[in-house]
Amino acid sequence: GAGVSQSPSNKVTEKGKDVELRCDPISGHTALYWYRQSLGQGLEFLIYFQGNSAPDKSGLPSDRFSAERTGGSVSTLTIQRTQQEDSAVYLCATRQGAIDTQYFGPGTRLTVL
Amino acid sequence: SQQGEEDPQALSIQEGENATMNCSYKTSINNLQWYRQNSGRGLVHLILIRSNEREKHSGRLRVTLDTSKKSSSLLITASRAADTASYFCATVPITSGTYKYIFGTGTRLKVLA
């Protein structure tokens, strides 16, 4: 596609439910990042993929968070047993090879009631 | 914790004035990038400056980098109401190889018409 897309754009869920967030990268972009941004804050790194492998998962806040990427393309971020503190905007960004510019999707705004 | 810290946190100016934002970081870097974010959604890449560069221009944007002080500044000249947004610096620490981006906390710029 022309840009990075994310779905859903908004998600409201009840505490304790599982949610799945999706990122569709720009075609051919091998590197993919997930970030979390709480209201009025900067970006918090969650995980980085190079192809289908995740050499750095250090930013995942707890074992309730997991992510996968298939076919070097689509990635899903799963949050199990959501908590209110998980409420944030989740941003996906991709990068082409060694070129340093990241291209961001519009984000998914997650609200946990 | 975030490596980059932007200063000021918020800035309000009149249309036509110049806006200057600063970013400080803690470790040696490969490059530093500035991004813009509208309405808490996806970020847009503005400009990248490498560690061996001291100044770079792009349209109304001017970026400087002082590696001895571990700081960078973003100058927007002749600001417009449409420049109202949050601006983030992002660094790529040398220790991370080339993949991990550390975002600052952002400067919220408001340009009054």
- Judging by beta carbons within 10 Å of its beta carbon (0-12, 13-18, 19+), is residue B33 exposed, middle or buried? buried
Return the amino acid letter for B53.
E
User: What pLDDT does A75 receive?
Assistant: 97
> In chain B, which among 72-101 make CB contacts under 8 A with chain A?
88, 90, 92, 98-101
pLDDT at residue B92 in the model: 83
The pLDDT score that the predictor gives to residue B96 is 65
A38: pLDDT strictly greater than 70: yes
Q: Tell which residue, B77, B84, B89, has the closest CA to residue B29.
A: B89
Could you tell me where the DSSP H helices lie in chain A?
A: none
pLDDT of the residue at A99: 67
Residue A1 reports pLDDT greater than 60:
no
Instruction: Evaluate whether B90 touches B35 at the Cβ level (below 8 Å).
Output: yes
Bridge-partner residues for B32, per DSSP?
A: B49, B91
Q: Of A31, A39, A43, which has the smallest distance from its Cβ to B88's Cβ?
A: A43
Q: Which amino acid is at B39?
A: S
pLDDT at B104: 87
Using a CB-CB distance cutoff of 8 angstroms, which residues of chain A are in contact with residue B101?
A: 33, 45, 102
Residue A69 pLDDT > 60: yes
In this structure, the strands spanning A31-37 and B61-66 are unpaired
Q: Which of A33, A32, A18 is nearest to A64 (CA)?
A: A18
Residue that is written with structure tokens 């799945």 in the block: A20
Cβ distance A43 to B43 less than 8 Å, yes or no, reads yes
- Whole-number pLDDT of residue A16: 97
pLDDT at B64 (0 to 100): 97
pLDDT at A58: 85
Confirm if B89 and B5 have CB atoms less than 8 A apart: no
Give the closest of A37, A48, A98 to B100, CB-based.
A48
Q: What is the pLDDT of residue B98?
A: 62
Q: Looking at residues A24-31, what average pLDDT do you find? A: 92
Written as tens digits, the pLDDT of chain B (113 aa) is 335 678 898 999 999 999 999 999 988 888 899 999 998 678 999 999 999 999 999 999 999 999 999 999 999 999 999 999 999 999 988 776 667 888 988 999 999 99
Distance between CA atoms of residues A97 and A110, nearest Å:
30
